[in-house]
Amino acid sequence: MSEWFPSEEWLDRYRANLNESERYAAESDGWGVDFAGDFVFEIRSLPVEETTVGEFPDDLTDDLRENLTSLPDERAATLVADAPPTLRERLDEQEGDDRTRLLDALLATPVAEVPDAVSSALREELPADLANLLTQLERYVDDGTVRVYLDLYEGECREAFVLDPDDERDPGFALQGPYGSWKALTEGEDVMDSVLGQDLDLDGSVTKIMSYADAADEMGDVASRTDSRALFQGNA
């Protein structure tokens, strides 16, 4: 099963795959010994302002359409009447019955505005997968940026988790770049080419990274082998 990228579920799968890689274990022997080998991956320019809920992949929105168009009349009327101001503005622009207006207004809502637009009652009507991803974006994305922490030591990824915006770390290494460059890695782009071509910016000892270039290469290869579905389309 493929996981949405970026998400906690994808990261869990990536960590498991990395720890199963014999090549990574061999090539990263000694990594983190007598130096800080942990990493923060910083995914910038997530298009949460530009992307509406309706522009998410169909695998996420098809069930949403079914859920809202099958609402009982009374339930739909209540959700419309109790809509927060952010959603109310879009509801007033829509035509049709309450179910249609509610669906069209939600589909037209930018992802960044979902926390203000979606009431707790409406959230109950969202498909579980979509609700989970929206909750993660709300929790972890700050100014279009999400950060991931990896504790790498002696051929093992001991921890991997998404950082809360206020969770400041001082890692040995940081890799930063726009969402499109990270998405390209999951599609097979070479990680060292991305660093050397400045698609991704490395903060840390380049000499140390180059001495473990094969381990870094395998980290990128594992990312491309980890089944994924892009949450945001294009190369923002």
Q: What is the pTM of this model?
A: 0.95
| Predicted local confidence at residue 236, as pLDDT | 53
The whole-angstrom separation of Cα 68 and Cα 63 is: 9
| Residue recorded with tokens 């959230």 | 123
Question: What is the predicted pLDDT for the residue at 183?
Answer: 97
What was the pLDDT predicted at 2?
Answer: 77
Q: Beta 156-163 vs 146-153: how paired, if at all?
A: antiparallel
Amino acid identity at 89: E
For the segment 165-191, the average pLDDT, to the nearest whole number, is 96
- Give the residues across from 4 on adjacent strands: 229
Mean confidence (pLDDT) of the chain: 96
Q: What is the pLDDT of residue 198?
A: 87
What CATH number labels 3-46+141-230? Answer: 3.30.1050.10
Q: Are strands 173-178 and 39-44 parallel, antiparallel or unpaired?
A: parallel
d(CA 110, CA 47): 9
